[in-house]
């Protein structure tokens, strides 16, 4: 993409008169997932960047078509789980062994078996939470507004519609992109412009 | 629109998964959308209001019971010395157990790629949440001083200048159950987001659109999102699986780590888990059978689903039976006179023998009818059986807790136990709470994961076409 | 300041102290100390005294300041409440609490010696007092009838003292009057009666041996020569008085001594659990229960299972009416042998005819003969004169007189206090021969035989004066009502069973202006306003010459010494030497009895004094009401006790795991009552035992309506037992609060016992069994090493010594502020006593052997309760105590579930906050009062440990063995409980833990309990054991 984009992207957060440059999208609808897959691959081969698809359910192979890398979530979850385990074990050790040891039923102060259940549970808790909240941070959700919502027909994207969206770089004519997309069998193509708010 | 009826027609063929039976009739994404959200958009009918009224009455019962308990103290219950635990812990274990089916269906069956889970997992997960909410009431209210119990179990520098005692299963359980509730909630909500989005997009009124929009969090089905989302969902499932096993294991530690005959038993963890799944599936059936009828979900919750669940009940029922057998065998084989007396005298011939025999009937005998396909596929039979199993599992907990406590080592301190009206009102009250939550759930959230069903339909369609295009 | 009649600003906390503080004789009051800070101090080491004067533990002084204030205010207001009544109090005793008297240190308790008189004989007590508030009762170690122990009755006196239900107002026919007014009335009466020498004046009192009351009586009789004094007690032992009188030709009292008794035969006598001698006899009996050559053997012949019966080596159950034939059969058997010819004539029909198991009689006779001069035959209070006479004859023939039994001149003012005297009084009243009746006896209307209909008769007496603690069944029938002062509020004196003079001193000013019986009687001598203290003190000053060792010296000092000791040393009366038993007279007595004795058919009714409320006088003591009966374990009830066979024959039904039984209707001499049945193994068949003292209808709120009144069936002809009752099943069931329904030990053998022969034989299975129950078990974790500690607390309980009398349970309840929960809660299984006494039957359930086992917290070293507690609320101390930290407890009850001994108690409801303010005065300030929702249990009296630790630290020494007693240990008459330091190799507890009989309860669980048990060794007669 052009160098201008990143510089401008934050711009649209500013209030009126801050030189707001609306992002522009070309949104094409397809009859079914297969058509969408083909179109996506071809568009990418044509060199279009900033592609994204919108489907009611995950379409098999879409990652490849969009040329996405490995998912990041697994790493986050792993770290969360490890952190949970460490916190739990050290907490128990500090509280019952180091800070305030008491003779409880003649049991050893440091008894790993009795510490395992909580260690395990906390690992799950932090792992699971990071899977959930990590995802939202990764996807920048919640994101109440996105330009694609401007399209009337986009409502079907969550019901039975299959869409391909291309963010048009500055200095490119959306019409050209639209042409390409039609060429790949999109039933309906529209150009969307981010509205200022 | 896209792939239509012809796609499904041949699907009834020799596919071992019999996918056609998982979604009946010619369906499109749109038709599924309408049919699965129908009950959300439709105004509540007389039936719903009737049930809701009854549920609210149950809820009131719960509030009365809790208030009276807080006002009078645990003395309002039937507990005594030696029976320090009774209804409180029985109900806790019972509800937690019921919760397990939800997580199991949605997590384990997902990992095992059991396609038939899709139509019932949402339903089951919701059930898990509500069951755990009901369960969570008891550990708190059963203590003598709940106003302290509420936070003294948490590891914080308290006024007592002392930390929790981490060797106690009660502390383990605080962590286990709270983790269980949190993860189940997150898992459920994550799976719900795409449906919320389609609810947002298919809703007619702007207010509903707004509300569902808020919960949908701006989900737009982006391919990039789906890529991470699938992992997140899968990993939560992966984490929930050991979690669900650990939670009931830890609950069973309540008893297993003690010294009491009838409690001090190593077979408890596995057979508690099996029992949990057993009762959980029974509870799912208890609600699913009527729900699929009233909510018009017969085409997605098919007889195959019900039959599979009955198979699971049969299987777990057999595991539970094995647990019973082992308990008794070890009691005899160990030569421990206290154990022997507990299992062969007190439980079978003691004052609470009826409960024991009812348990045996409900948990051991009843499930056996599911060996016959006729029974597995007959709605009335499976429904009654499911209810009996729930009764049986409650009896099992009564048997483990009260019967073991009321006659332990020294005959001099053997006492009889009798529950009070407060015990009963709190127990029935939680059933009221559960029903209330469930009916609200059925009213505002799709009872079936529409997105996943569509995905399933899509896959089936492709199978039908021999869609090895994407291998 | 004493002489000036200042109005009672505030009564002084404790009367004896006032006499002290008088005239600033601090010097004197220090050298003449009659208050102890501890029993050890009473024994009096000088260093101790110095220490006490020198220094007090930190914080001791500020702590109880508000207590005392609040207490003073309460006393002030209660004094105001009682209004005029207060002004009878001797003026010099009312001095304001301006300066703290030297002997009172806030926070430190004092012990005062006093006495309590039951059945006429006084038991010496030491009462602990905090800032003038009596808080705990102990026995007086120097008193022969206490030896430091106390009965449940004495323990419960504390509740009686602080009982809000007590009568508080002098009244005439319900109208409040002033004491002065009463004195005036009495003066009038006196002058009226003086005319005919008091021919129409009668005094009805409890039996008493009080020298002062005796003196007042003689003075009254001098003034009213024709007046008559009548003693009445519903449980009087007239049979003994008559029988011995017949046997010896003169009135004598029997005194028993078990120290040298090898074989004891009890003829329906509950010598270990009943009667004024019980504490001493229990101690002497227990001392001989250690296995070995000197071990004694106890035969008990009785209709219903008693405390003594539970301790018996051979228990022979038979109806009370069959005891006489048995005794005669025994006499015949003995008479048949050489050397006992004088008994032959007493044999009567002999075994065959009287239907007694001849083999049994032969064995007992042989055993007695073998131990000639070392045996004892005791007849019980229920038995008629003939049996007592025969028992005396047997003892005489067996040369036991002077060894195990001796006879002395009667100490009681009236030898007879049973049905006969009161029946005669009733006749006089019926014949309108009585104008004025002064009743100081306790509640005669309730206790008197029903056939006398005393309640109706009393209304025919023109003037009745009733002096009592409560507005009870008797007071409505009387004109004048005088609220009595509680024993702890009264001056007085009494005699021990051996005649030792016991001084009773008050520990607190009368809370509600009660009056002593001394003052009531003195009123007729015109001395009603002198005050009991003066009357008593002066009377002894006058008698000073007659008291051995009291001649010369300052009377003040002598008096102080007496009060300090609680008794006058050397005043016991010696047995009569010149007695000869007239066997002929005994024979005549017997034949007369045999002629009269009804051999009627029908059920036999047997009446028994109750172990908890005695004759009903303790009905308002909730500790006793809730105390499980030593035998039946019933609380808050009495019942128609019957044998399993009888119950079966009657069709008695049992429900709810033994809690719920049928109600039976009992008809006797056309009187009819309904009573719930209760099955007692070992009870005689066709025989119903009815405990007395229940079904009260007085103003006592606690005892009111509890149980049924067995007295309704009592007649003056047959006050103790009689045949001819019809018993049938009535409608309905009764729910009992029974703390132990289960009879059998399920073969788990928690309370081990063994026959002497097996114990002495190394190869008997017993030794194998007991070896399995002690020593160390394999364990994963290395046991904590306590040997470095100075103290390692532990307890040992000797099942061979324990009689199950349950005094320890009440002592524990008093010491530890244990709440009373009421019958409904007990039915639910929520009784709170930290210490329970288990009772198991074994063998033939119709005639079982009984074994008893006190169980409290074992203080396990690997306590199962601890590791399950989520909040560290129960943890281990350095010295190995299993500590319960109330303020950390959230009440999960997990610890109780996991306690294999089930000794933890839970506050299911708020049992404490509604305790009446006045009752709170008696609470032990050193023990936390527990709130709702928390767990509690035996602490090994940790507050006593800490107090002793402080005291000894002040003196810079270690705690000696035996100077630290737990409450249960201190109360125990038989010395079955021993507490001490295992790190002291010389301590008794260490030795007992190494005893051959030592074992651990549920040892196989590896809990390593600190409380060890010593197996009970029975000493059965080999001849009888053979079968």
User: Cβ contacts (< 8 Å) between A103 and chain C: which residues?
Assistant: 784, 875-876, 878
Q: Which of B209-223, C14-28, C772-786, C810-824 is most confident? A: C810-824
The arithmetic mean of pLDDT across residues B284-312, rounded, is: 86
What confidence tens digit (pLDDT) does each residue in B388-403 have?
A: 999 999 999 999 999 9
| Alpha-carbon distances, residue B390 vs B253, C281, C941 (angstroms) | 22, 63, 49
- The minimum CA-CA distance between C907 and chain A, rounded to whole Å, is 23
- A131 contacts B236? CB cut-off 8 A: yes
The arithmetic mean of pLDDT across residues B301-318, rounded, is: 91
State yes or no: pLDDT of A146 exceeds 90. Answer: no
Q: Is residue A105 part of a domain?
A: yes
Q: Which of B81, B405, B409 sits opposite C1002 (nearest CB)?
A: B409
Assess whether A181 and A159 both reside in one domain. Answer: yes
Q: Which has more pLDDT, C489 or C601? A: C489
Residue with tokens 């070896």: C771
Residue C907 in tokens: 């506050």
State yes or no: pLDDT of C610 exceeds 70. Answer: yes
| Cα C130 to Cα C109: distance, rounded to the nearest angstrom | 5
Q: Is A106 on the interface with C (CB under 8 A)?
A: yes
Mean pLDDT score across all residues of chain B: 87
The arithmetic mean of pLDDT across residues C420-432, rounded, is: 94
For position B175, what pLDDT does the model report? 94
The arithmetic mean of pLDDT across residues C68-96, rounded, is: 43
- C657 contacts B165? CB cut-off 8 A: no
> Pseudo-torsion of CA A149, A150, A154, A159, nearest 10°?
40
Q: Which has more pLDDT, B1 or C130? A: C130
For position B161, what pLDDT does the model report? 80
Mean pLDDT score across all residues of chain C: 87
State yes or no: pLDDT of A15 exceeds 90. Answer: no
Among A139, A165, A180, which residue terminates a domain?
A139
**DSSP assigned state of C356:** -
For position B342, what pLDDT does the model report? 93
State yes or no: pLDDT of C749 exceeds 60. Answer: yes
State yes or no: pLDDT of B358 exceeds 90. Answer: yes
Query: Would the pTM of this model clear 0.90, i.e. be above it?
Result: no
Contact residues, chain C to chain A, C-beta under 8 Å? 781, 783-784, 860-867, 869, 872, 875-876, 878, 1008
State yes or no: pLDDT of A9 exceeds 60. Answer: no
- A156 contacts B253? CB cut-off 8 A: no
Residue of A105, A107, A111, A114 to mutate for C, most C C-beta atoms under 10 A: A105
Q: Is residue A65 part of a domain?
A: yes
For position B420, what pLDDT does the model report? 95
Q: Are C141 and C147 in contact (CB under 8 A)?
A: yes
Assess whether A110 and A80 both reside in one domain. Answer: yes
State yes or no: pLDDT of C62 exceeds 70. Answer: no
pLDDT band per the 50, 70, 90 thresholds, residue A4: very low
For position C336, what pLDDT does the model report? 85
Least confidently predicted of A85-94, B53-62, C561-570:
C561-570
**Within a 10 A sphere around the Cβ of C453, how many other Cβ atoms?**
13
| Cα A36 to Cα A51: distance, rounded to the nearest angstrom | 12
| Cα B280 to Cα B272: distance, rounded to the nearest angstrom | 12
- The minimum CA-CA distance between C659 and chain B, rounded to whole Å, is 9
Cβ-proximal residues to A96 (8 Å cutoff; 6+ apart), any chain: A102, A109, A110, B163, B165, B166, B167
- B194 contacts A73? CB cut-off 8 A: no
State yes or no: pLDDT of C1004 exceeds 70. Answer: yes
Q: Is residue A35 part of a domain?
A: yes
Nearest 5°: CA angle at C317, between C312 and C320? 115
State yes or no: pLDDT of C355 exceeds 70. Answer: no
For position A195, what pLDDT does the model report? 81
Q: Is residue A10 part of a domain?
A: no
For position B5, what pLDDT does the model report? 36
Q: Are C852 and B412 in contact (CB under 8 A)?
A: no
- C744 contacts B162? CB cut-off 8 A: no
- C748 contacts B409? CB cut-off 8 A: yes
Instruction: Kindly give the pairing relationship between strand C501-504 and strand C463-468.
Output: unpaired
Q: Is B231 on the interface with A (CB under 8 A)?
A: yes
Q: Is residue A2 part of a domain?
A: no
Show the domains of chain B with their CATH numbers.
Answer: 2-154+167-464 (1.20.1630.10)
Q: Is residue A170 part of a domain?
A: yes
Q: Is C660 on the interface with B (CB under 8 A)?
A: no
Q: Are C471 and C167 in contact (CB under 8 A)?
A: yes
pLDDT band per the 50, 70, 90 thresholds, residue C1010: very high
State yes or no: pLDDT of C632 exceeds 60. Answer: yes
For position B21, what pLDDT does the model report? 57
Query: Containing domain of residue A125, as a range?
Result: 73-139
Q: Which of B72, B144, B405 sits opposite C897 (nearest CB)?
A: B405
| Cα C141 to Cα A78: distance, rounded to the nearest angstrom | 74
Instruction: Return left, alpha or beta for A108; rule: phi > 0 is left, psi -120 to 50 is alpha, else beta.
Output: beta
For position B450, what pLDDT does the model report? 82
State yes or no: pLDDT of A1 exceeds 80. Answer: no
pLDDT band per the 50, 70, 90 thresholds, residue C469: very high
Q: Which has more pLDDT, C884 or A188? A: C884
What confidence tens digit (pLDDT) does each residue in B204-262 have?
A: 888 988 999 899 888 988 888 999 999 999 999 999 989 999 999 999 999 999 999 99
| Alpha-carbon distances, residue C139 vs B71, C159, C234, C963, C978 (angstroms) | 43, 17, 26, 15, 17
Q: Is residue A59 part of a domain?
A: yes
For position A64, what pLDDT does the model report? 86
- Angle between helix axes B303-333 and B268-294 (nearest 10 degrees) is 160
For position C3, what pLDDT does the model report? 39
**DSSP assigned state of C36:** B
Assess whether A82 and A101 both reside in one domain. Answer: yes
| Cα B92 to Cα C800: distance, rounded to the nearest angstrom | 47
pLDDT band per the 50, 70, 90 thresholds, residue C598: low
**DSSP assigned state of B222:** B
Q: Is residue A117 part of a domain?
A: yes
CA-wise closest residue to B210 among B201, B220, B223 = B201
| Alpha-carbon distances, residue C111 vs A64, C99, C126, C490, C761 (angstroms) | 94, 21, 6, 16, 48
Residue with tokens 């001499």: C669
State yes or no: pLDDT of C24 exceeds 50. Answer: no
What confidence tens digit (pLDDT) does each residue in B225-240 have?
A: 999 999 999 999 999 9
pLDDT band per the 50, 70, 90 thresholds, residue C699: confident
Residues 825-854 of C with CB under 8 A from B: 825, 828-830, 836, 838-840, 853
CA-wise closest residue to C906 among C898, C920, C896 = C896
Assess whether A128 and A103 both reside in one domain. Answer: yes
| Cα C430 to Cα C442: distance, rounded to the nearest angstrom | 21
The β-bridge partners of C302 are: C317
Instruction: Say how many domains are in chain A.
Output: 2
Q: Which has more pLDDT, A6 or C1006? A: C1006
pLDDT band per the 50, 70, 90 thresholds, residue C13: very low
**HEC per residue, C383-395:** CCHHHHHHHHHHH
Q: How many helices (H) and strands (E) does chain C have?
A: 36, 40
For position C82, what pLDDT does the model report? 41
DSSP one-letter string for chain A: --THHHHHGGGGGS-TTS-----EEEEEEESSHHHHHHHHHHHHHTT--SEEEE-SSPPTTHHHHHT----SHHHHHHHHHHHHHHHHHHHHIIIIIIIS----TT--SS-HHHHHHHHHHHHHHHHHHHHHHHHHHHTT------GGGGSGGGGGGGTT-EEEEEEEPTTS-HHHHHHHHHHTT-SEEEEEEPPP-
Show the domains of chain C with their CATH numbers.
Answer: 171-236+414-530 (3.40.50.740), 253-408 (3.40.228.10), 598-738 (2.40.40.20), 753-776+788-1022 (3.30.70.20)
The arithmetic mean of pLDDT across residues C470-496, rounded, is: 93
The separation between CA C558 and the C-alpha centre of its own chain, rounded to angstroms, equals 30
Kindly provide the ipTM of the predicted complex, given to two decimals: 0.89
Among A105, A123, A139, which residue terminates a domain?
A139
Assess whether A184 and A91 both reside in one domain. Answer: no
Residue of A95, A96, A104, A106 to mutate for C, most C C-beta atoms under 10 A: A106
For position B370, what pLDDT does the model report? 95
Least confidently predicted of A135-144, B152-161, C447-456:
B152-161
For position C347, what pLDDT does the model report? 73
Assess whether A83 and A176 both reside in one domain. Answer: no
The arithmetic mean of pLDDT across residues B168-177, rounded, is: 94
Q: Is A110 on the interface with C (CB under 8 A)?
A: no
In the three-class reduction of DSSP (H, G, I as helix; E, B as strand; rest coil), residue C855 is classed as: strand
Assess whether A134 and A161 both reside in one domain. Answer: no
Cβ-proximal residues to A138 (8 Å cutoff; 6+ apart), any chain: A72, A73, A76, B228
User: Cβ contacts (< 8 Å) between C746 and chain B: which residues?
Assistant: 341, 411
> Pseudo-torsion of CA B383, B387, B388, B394, nearest 10°?
160
Assess whether A46 and A87 both reside in one domain. Answer: no
Q: Which of C870, C893, C1002 sits opposite B85 (nearest CB)?
A: C893
Q: Are C905 and C834 in contact (CB under 8 A)?
A: yes
For position C684, what pLDDT does the model report? 94
């Amino acid at each position: 993409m052009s160098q201008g984009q990143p510089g401008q992207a934050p711009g649209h957060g500013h209030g009126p008169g801050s030189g707001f440059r609306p992002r522009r999208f070309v949104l094409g609808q397809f009859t079914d997932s297969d058509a969408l897959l083909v179109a996506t691959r071809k568009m990418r081969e044509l060199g279009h960047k900033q592609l994204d698809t919108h489907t009611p359910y995950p379409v098999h192979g879409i990652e490849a078509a969009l040329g996405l890398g490995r998912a990041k979530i697994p790493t986050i979850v792993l770290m969360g789980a490890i952190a949970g385990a460490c916190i739990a074990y050290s907490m128990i050790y500090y509280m019952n062994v180091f800070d305030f040891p008491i003779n409880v039923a003649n049991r050893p102060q440091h008894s790993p078996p009795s510490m395992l259940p909580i260690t395990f549970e906390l690992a799950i808790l932090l792992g699971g939470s990071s899977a959930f909240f990590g995802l939202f941070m990764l996807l920048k959700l919640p994101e109440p507004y996105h330009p694609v919502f401007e399209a009337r027909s986009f409502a079907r994207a969550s019901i039975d519609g299959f869409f391909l969206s291309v963010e048009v770089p500055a200095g490119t004519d959306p019409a050209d992109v639209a042409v390409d997309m039609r060429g790949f069998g999109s039933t309906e193509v529209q150009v969307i412009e981010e509205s200022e708010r | 629109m896209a792939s239509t009826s012809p796609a499904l027609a041949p699907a009834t063929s020799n596919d071992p998964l019999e996918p056609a039976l998982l979604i009946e009739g010619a369906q499109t994404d749109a038709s599924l959308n309408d049919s699965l959200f129908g009950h959300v958009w439709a105004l509540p009918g007389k039936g719903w209001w009737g049930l809701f009224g009854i549920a609210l009455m149950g809820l009131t019962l719960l509030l009365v019971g809790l208030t009276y308990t807080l006002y009078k103290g645990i003395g309002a219950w039937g507990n005594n010395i030696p029976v320090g635990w009774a209804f409180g812990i029985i109900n806790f274990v019972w509800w937690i157990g019921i919760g397990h089916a939800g997580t199991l269906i949605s997590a384990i069956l997902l990992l095992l790629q059991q396609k038939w889970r899709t139509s019932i997992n949402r339903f089951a997960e919701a059930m898990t949440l509500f069951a755990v909410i009901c369960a969570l009431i008891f550990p708190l209210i059963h203590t003598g001083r709940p106003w302290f119990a509420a936070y003294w179990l948490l590891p914080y520098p308290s006024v007592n200048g002392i930390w929790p005692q981490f060797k106690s299963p009660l502390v383990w359980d605080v962590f286990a159950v709270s983790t269980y509730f949190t993860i189940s909630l997150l898992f459920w909500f994550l799976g719900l987001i795409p449906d919320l989005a389609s609810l947002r997009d298919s809703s007619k009124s702007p207010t509903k659109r707004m509300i569902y929009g808020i919960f949908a969090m701006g989900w737009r089905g982006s391919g990039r999102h789906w890529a991470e989302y699938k992992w997140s969902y899968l990993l939560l499932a992966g984490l929930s699986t050991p979690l669900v096993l650990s939670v009931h294991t830890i609950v069973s530690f309540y008893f297993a780590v003690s010294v009491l005959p009838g409690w001090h038993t190593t077979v408890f963890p596995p057979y508690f888990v099996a029992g949990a799944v057993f009762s959980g599936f029974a509870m799912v059936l208890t609600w699913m059978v009527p729900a699929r009828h009233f909510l018009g979900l017969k085409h997605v919750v098919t007889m195959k689903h019900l039959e599979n669940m009955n198979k699971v009940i049969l299987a777990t029922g057999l595991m539970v039976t094995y647990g019973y057998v082992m308990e008794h065998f070890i009691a005899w084989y160990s030569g421990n006179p206290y154990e022997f007396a507990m299992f062969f005298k007190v439980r079978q011939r003691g004052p609470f023998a009826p409960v024991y025999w009812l348990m045996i009937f409900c948990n051991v005998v009843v499930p056996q009818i599911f060996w016959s396909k006729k029974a597995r596929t007959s709605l009335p039979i499976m429904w009654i059986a499911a209810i009996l199993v729930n009764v049986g599992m409650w009896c099992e907990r009564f048997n483990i807790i009260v019967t073991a406590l009321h006659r332990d080592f020294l005959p001099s301190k053997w006492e009889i136990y009798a529950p009070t009206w407060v015990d009963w009102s709190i127990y029935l009250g939680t059933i009221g709470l559960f029903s209330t939550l469930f009916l609200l759930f059925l009213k505002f959230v799709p009872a079936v994961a529409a997105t996943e069903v569509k995905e399933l339909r899509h896959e089936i369609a492709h199978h039908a076409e021999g869609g090895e295009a994407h291998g | 300041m004493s002489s000036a009649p200042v109005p009672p600003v505030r009564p002084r906390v404790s009367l004896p102290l006032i006499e002290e503080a008088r005239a600033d004789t601090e010097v004197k009051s220090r050298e003449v100390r009659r208050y102890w800070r501890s029993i050890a101090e009473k024994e009096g080491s000088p260093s101790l005294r110095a220490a006490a004067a020198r220094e007090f533990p930190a914080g001791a002084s500020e702590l109880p300041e508000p207590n005392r204030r609040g207490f003073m205010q309460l006393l002030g207001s209660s004094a105001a409440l009682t209004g005029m009544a207060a002004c009878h109090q001797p003026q010099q005793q009312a001095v304001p609490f301006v300066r703290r008297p030297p002997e009172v240190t806030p926070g430190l308790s004092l012990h005062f010696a006093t006495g309590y008189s039951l059945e006429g004989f006084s038991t010496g007590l030491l009462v602990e007092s905090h800032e003038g508030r009596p808080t705990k009762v102990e026995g007086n170690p120097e008193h022969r009838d206490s030896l430091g122990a106390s009965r449940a009755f004495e323990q419960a006196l504390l509740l009686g003292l602080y009982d809000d239900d007590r009568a508080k107002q002098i009244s005439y026919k319900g109208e409040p009057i002033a004491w002065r007014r009463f004195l005036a009335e009495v003066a009038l009466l006196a002058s009226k009666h003086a005319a005919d020498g008091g021919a129409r004046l009668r005094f009805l009192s409890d039996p008493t041996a009080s020298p002062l009351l005796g003196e007042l009586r003689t003075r009254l009789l001098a003034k009213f020569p024709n007046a008559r004094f009548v003693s009445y007690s519903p449980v009087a032992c007239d049979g003994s008085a008559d029988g011995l009188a017949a046997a010896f030709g003169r009135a004598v009292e029997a005194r028993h001594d078990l120290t040298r008794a090898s074989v004891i035969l009890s003829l329906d006598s509950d010598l270990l659990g009943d009667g004024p001698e019980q504490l001493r006899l229990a101690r002497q009996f227990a001392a001989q229960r250690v296995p070995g050559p000197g071990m004694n053997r106890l035969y008990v012949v009785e209709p219903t299972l008693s405390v003594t019966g539970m301790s018996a080596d051979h228990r022979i159950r038979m109806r009370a009416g069959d005891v006489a034939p048995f005794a005669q059969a025994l006499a015949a058997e003995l008479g048949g042998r050489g050397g006992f010819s004088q008994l032959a004539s007493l044999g009567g029909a002999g075994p065959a005819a009287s239907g007694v198991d001849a083999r049994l009689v032969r064995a007992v006779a042989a055993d007695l003969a073998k131990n000639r001069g070392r045996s004892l035959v005791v007849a019980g209070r229920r038995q008629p004169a003939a049996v007592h006479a025969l028992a005396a004859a047997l003892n005489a023939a067996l040369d036991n007189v002077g060894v195990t039994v001796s006879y002395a001149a009667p100490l009681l003012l009236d030898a007879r206090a049973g049905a006969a005297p009161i029946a005669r009084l009733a006749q006089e009243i019926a014949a309108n021969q009585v104008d004025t009746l002064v009743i100081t006896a306790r509640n005669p209307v309730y206790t008197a035989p029903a056939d006398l209909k005393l309640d109706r008769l009393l209304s025919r007496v023109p003037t009745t004066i009733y002096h009592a603690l409560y507005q009870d069944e008797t007071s409505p029938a009387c004109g004048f009502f005088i609220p009595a002062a509680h024993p702890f509020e009264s001056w007085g004196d009494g005699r021990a069973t051996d005649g030792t003079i016991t001084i009773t001193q008050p520990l607190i000013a009368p809370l509600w202006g009660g009056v002593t019986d001394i003052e009531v009687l003195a009123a007729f001598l015109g001395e009603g306003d002198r005050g009991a203290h003066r009357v008593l003190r002066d009377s002894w000053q006058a008698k000073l010459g007659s008291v051995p060792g009291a001649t010369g010296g300052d009377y003040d000092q002598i008096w102080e010494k007496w009060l300090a000791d609680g008794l006058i040393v050397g005043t016991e009366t010696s047995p009569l030497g010149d007695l000869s038993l007239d066997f002929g007279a005994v024979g005549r007595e017997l034949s007369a009895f045999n002629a009269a004795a009804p051999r009627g058919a029908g059920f036999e009714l047997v009446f028994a004094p109750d172990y908890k409320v005695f004759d009903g006088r303790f009905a308002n003591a909730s500790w006793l009401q809730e105390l499980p009966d030593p035998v039946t374990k019933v609380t808050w009830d009495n019942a128609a006790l019957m044998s399993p066979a009888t119950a079966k024959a009657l069709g008695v039904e049992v429900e709810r795991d033994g809690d719920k039984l049928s109600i039976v209707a009992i008809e006797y001499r056309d009187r009819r009552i309904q009573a719930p049945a209760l099955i007692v193994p070992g009870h005689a068949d066709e025989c119903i035992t009815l405990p007395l003292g229940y079904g009260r209808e007085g103003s006592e709120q606690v005892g009111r309506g509890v149980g049924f009144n067995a007295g309704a069936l009592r007649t003056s002809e047959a006050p103790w037992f009689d045949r001819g009752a019809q018993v049938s099943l009535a409608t309905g069931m009764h729910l009992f609060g029974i703390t132990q329904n289960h009879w059998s030990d399920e073969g788990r053998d928690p309370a081990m016992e063994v026959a002497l022969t097996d114990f002495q034989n190394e190869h008997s299975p017993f030794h194998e069994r007991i070896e399995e129950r002690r020593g160390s078990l394999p364990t994963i974790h290395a046991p904590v090493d306590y040997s470095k500690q100075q103290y390692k607390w532990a307890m040992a309980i000797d099942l061979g010594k324990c009689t199950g009398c349950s005094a320890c349970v009440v002592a524990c309840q008093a010491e530890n502020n244990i709440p009373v929960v009421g019958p409904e809660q007990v039915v639910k299984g929520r009784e709170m006593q930290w210490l329970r006494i288990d009772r198991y039957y074994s063998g033939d359930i119709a005639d079982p052997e009984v074994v008893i086992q006190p169980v409290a917290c074992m203080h396990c070293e690997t306590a199962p309760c601890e590791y399950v507690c989520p909040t560290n609320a129960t943890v281990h101390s350095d010295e190995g105590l299993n500590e319960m930290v109330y303020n950390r407890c959230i009440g999960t009850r997990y610890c109780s579930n996991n306690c294999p001994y089930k000794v933890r108690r839970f506050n299911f409801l708020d049992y404490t906050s509604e305790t009446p303010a006045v009752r709170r005065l008696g609470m032990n300030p050193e023990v936390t009062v527990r709130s709702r929702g928390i767990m509690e249990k035996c602490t090994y009296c940790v507050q006593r440990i800490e107090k002793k630790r402080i005291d000894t630290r002040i003196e810079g020494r270690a705690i000696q063995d035996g100077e630290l007693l737990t409450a249960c240990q201190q109360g125990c008459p038989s010395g079955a409980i021993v507490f001490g330091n295992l790190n002291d190799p010389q301590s008794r507890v260490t030795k007992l833990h190494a005893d051959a009989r030592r074992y651990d309860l549920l040892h196989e669980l590896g809990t390593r309990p600190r409380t060890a048990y010593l197996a009970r060794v029975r000493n059965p007669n080999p001849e009888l054991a053979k079968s």
